[in-house]
Amino acid sequence: MSRLFKELAHRNTPIGELSLRRRRELTLDVDVYEIKLGEEFLMSSLFTVSEVALADLGLADLEGGKLDVVVGGLGLGYTADAVLKHDKVGSLIVVDFLEAVIDWHKEKLLPLSSRLLADPRCRFLLGDFFRLSTSEQGYDPLNPGRRFDAILVDIDHSPKFLLAPENAAFYTQGGLTKLTAHLNPGGVFGLWSNDLPDEAFTEILRTSFARAKSTAVTFHNPLQNKDFTQTVYLART
């Protein structure tokens, strides 16, 4: 294949055909890693500001030296990597529904894979984050019922634009209230969204948490020469 483009891996998954590819973006002189579901782009390494912000904003107000964190959605690894850059984090469980994504990291096909695998605080868990959120067991099969200081989620495109219709229940008052059972008192729930802040969803968060807010994260796209805004929602028990 051309040095400008290479398909690194592909696999049939429960939600469709998944492919991992690397291409050279000549205008920026960088390699771009992308995961596609069929013809739909799920993840790209080109713009990761908001994925990193999910970790940084989610952990900013938490104190302590041994924080226990869950990240829902491994993807290319940018949120997980940003979490591990905080010395106050003691453990991280990264939950992903797609075995292919976890395997590609274990095969070190992605830029952040080696760093995630080398950090003893980090563990990958193959599972359905949304199902685990409603279970009594929770996110740690080695310690059922364990609670966490932060649960940070980047799976669906937004609370309204879902990868699967069955995920919708998670974004309701009932679904979010069930999530709080897995947080320590004062714990933080953080959610990434590709859309602009949605006050209606922020109000839903306030019905399940003691307080909630949305933060707009704006970055410049040099390919289109314009700014884009995404959202990080934060809620605290």
Q: In whole angstroms, give the CA distance from residue 15 to residue 13.
A: 5
Lowest mean pLDDT among 1-5, 29-33, 34-38, 87-91: 1-5
Give residue-wise pLDDT tens across range 34-43: 999 998 889 9
- The confidence band for 108, taking pLDDT boundaries of 50, 70 and 90, is very high
Q: In whole angstroms, give the CA distance from residue 10 to residue 17.
A: 7
Residue 2 pLDDT exceeds 60: no
Would you state the structure tokens that stand for residue 22, as one six-digit string? 């690397």
- Mean local confidence (pLDDT), 86-98: 98
Q: In what order do the strands lie in the sheet with 30-37?
A: 5-13, 16-25, 30-37, 40-44
- Mean local confidence (pLDDT), 37-64: 94
Give residue-wise pLDDT tens across range 114-156: 999 999 999 999 999 999 999 999 999 999 999 999 999 999 9
- Mean local confidence (pLDDT), 36-61: 95
- The confidence band for 86, taking pLDDT boundaries of 50, 70 and 90, is very high
Residue 203 pLDDT exceeds 50: yes
pLDDT in the model for residue 214:
98
**Nearest to residue 94, comparing CAs of 53, 123, 129?**
123
Q: In whole angstroms, give the CA distance from residue 168 to residue 164.
A: 8
Domain 48-236: CATH superfamily, name plus number: Vaccinia Virus protein VP39 (3.40.50.150)
**Helical H runs in 98-163?**
99-106, 113-118, 129-133
Average pLDDT, the chain: 96
Residue whose structure tokens are 């959120």: 133
- Mean local confidence (pLDDT), 207-236: 97
pLDDT in the model for residue 1:
43
pLDDT in the model for residue 65:
85
By CB atoms closer than 10 A (0-12, 13-18, 19+), residue 40 is: exposed
Q: Which helix (H) or strand (E) holds 180?
A: helix 173-180
Reported as half-sphere exposure (CB side, CA atoms, 13 A), residue 12 has a value of 0
At 190, the amino acid letter reads: G
Q: In whole angstroms, give the CA distance from residue 196 to residue 185.
A: 29
Q: In whole angstroms, give the CA distance from residue 37 to residue 211.
A: 35
**Nearest to residue 78, comparing CAs of 40, 115, 129?**
115
Give residue-wise pLDDT tens across range 93-103: 999 999 999 99
